[in-house]
Homo-oligomer: A and B are copies of this chain.
Amino acid sequence: MKFFDDIRVGEVSNLGRHMFTAEDIKSFAARFDPQRFHVDEAEAARSHFGRLCASGWHTACVWMRLLIDFRRREDEELRARGEAVAQLGPSPGFRNLEWSKPVYVGDTVSYTTEVIEMRPLASRPGWGIIFVRNSGVNQHGEPVISFISSAFVERREREPQIP
């Protein structure tokens, strides 16, 4: 993770993409969201979705995984350049999650994240909070998921001030 001080509002990162296979959709749903249109092709065909589609939570969890992988690559690049890597605190939560279209079997979703707001934390010296808009778009360019998340990010050590 970059330091708070090196992040700018408007920055967009491409997190990568994921193809939702039938096996992938069904194994997630069997554990967490066993509704008929997420676990069985024939039942899905008879449902209002018309086809097997992923649990909305699955679409969100894939975002989380791609974000972790993205941050690892970013950290490796920083270390390769001999730069320090910032600590990331826990996420306080999310707002306004929208599942705007179903993710059908065989769909490939591309995820991006955009910094929309940031501020230093008066209550936690050495830390700032960033707000990012996360989006997933299918292979037809149609948005399937979007939400706003926040995270605590470490600030750079301040240089001692010359008195």
Complex copy number for this chain: 2
Chain B CB within 8 A of A7 CB: no
Q: Residues 42-68 of chain A: 1 if any B CB is under 8 Å from the residue's CB, otherwise 0?
A: 000000110000011100111011001
Closest 8 pairs between A and B when the two form their complex, measured CB to CB? A93-B98, A32-B61, A94-B97, A93-B97, A32-B65, A33-B64, A57-B61, A32-B64
> Which residues does A use to contact B, with CB under 8 Å?
31-35, 48-49, 55-57, 60-62, 64-65, 68, 89-99, 102, 147
Identify 10 residue pairs between A and B in the complex whose beta-carbon atoms are under 8 Å apart, listed by A's number.
Answer: A31-B61, A32-B65, A34-B68, A35-B68, A90-B99, A92-B98, A93-B98, A93-B99, A94-B96, A94-B147
- Majority-rule SS of A interface residues: mixed
From A56, which residue of chain B is reached at the shortest CB distance? B91
Question: A84 vs B92: C-alpha distance in the bound complex, in angstroms?
Answer: 41
* A37 smallest CB distance to B (angstroms): 9
* Contact of B99 with A65 in the complex, beta carbons under 8 Å: no
Q: Which residues of B contact A60 (CB under 8 A)?
A: 57
Q: Which residues of B contact A147 (CB under 8 A)?
A: 93-94
* A116 smallest CB distance to B (angstroms): 16
From A48, which residue of chain B is reached at the shortest CB distance? B89
Q: Which residues of B contact A33 (CB under 8 A)?
A: 61, 64-65, 68
For A56, A61, A92, the residue with the greatest tally of chain B CB atoms inside 10 Å of its CB is A61
Q: Which residues of B contact A68 (CB under 8 A)?
A: 33-35
Question: A90 vs B96: C-alpha distance in the bound complex, in angstroms?
Answer: 16
Question: A158 vs B5: C-alpha distance in the bound complex, in angstroms?
Answer: 60
